[in-house]
Amino acid sequence: MNEDSRRLVAFLTGLGVDKVDHTNRTFLAHLVGVYRLMEAQGCAPEVCLAGMFHSIYGTELFQRFALPLERRPEVRALIGERAERLAYLNCALDRAAHDRSLEGTAEPDRFHDRFTGKESRLSKEDFDDLCRVHLYDWLEQVPHSNLGWGYRREAYLRMAQRLGNPALAAYERTFAQESVAVDQSGPSASGAA
């Protein structure tokens, strides 16, 4: 981990995310895991940073930690404007609306902000990078989540297909673990970020 990464981890630790449970480990471990997965997948640096902060303001499902939106400028100064915007978009994501956009039952690249209730159209680059953050977040945690392997599986597959390789290969590698996980003892703690 380089100096910048250590600085980000120190910021997150200062917020107490290392004390928050998330899928049988800490929220901090999950955030760092998403960052590392995205980095290994060759994602752009600002997209990896968005991955590390992907649920900083809470998400539809993960509410054990949510930094107030008033602190967005602080996060923006820390990780950069585009990374913070992508992290915000992931937090504000209305998953059902996102899934409809991926299915083609809604206008392509539409975004419904669950915080403001407003709809907008994202650029293809922003929509794809939002898909990237959202997909890798799930791929990092699905083996530990009690939501199960079937949770929004088709939507995640559509994201991977939209993004092509290496996202599709990562999706296939992750879901190849399903039979092993099903054979192991019982579900784990929830926490889909």
Q: Quick one: CA torsion of 58, 8, 147, 105, rounded to 10 degrees?
A: 60
Which is higher by pLDDT, 168 or 1?
A: 168
**d(C-alpha 4, C-alpha 142), whole Å:** 28
pLDDT at 192: 61
Tens-place pLDDT, residues 160-191:
999 999 999 999 999 999 977 655 544 444 45
- The domain total for the chain is 1
Residue 193 clears pLDDT 80, i.e. is over it:
no
Which is higher by pLDDT, 110 or 139?
A: 139
Residue 157 lies in a domain: yes
Residue 148 lies in a domain: yes
Residue 12 lies in a domain: no
Tens-place pLDDT, residues 119-167:
999 999 999 999 999 999 999 999 988 889 999 999 999 999 999 999 9
Residue 180 lies in a domain: no
Closest CA to 147 of 189, 183, 118: 189
Residue 128 lies in a domain: yes
Tens-place pLDDT, residues 73-93:
999 999 999 999 999 999 999
Write the CATH number for 35.
1.10.3210
Tens-place pLDDT, residues 9-30:
999 999 999 999 998 899 999 9
Range of the domain at 44: 18-175
Residue 186 lies in a domain: no
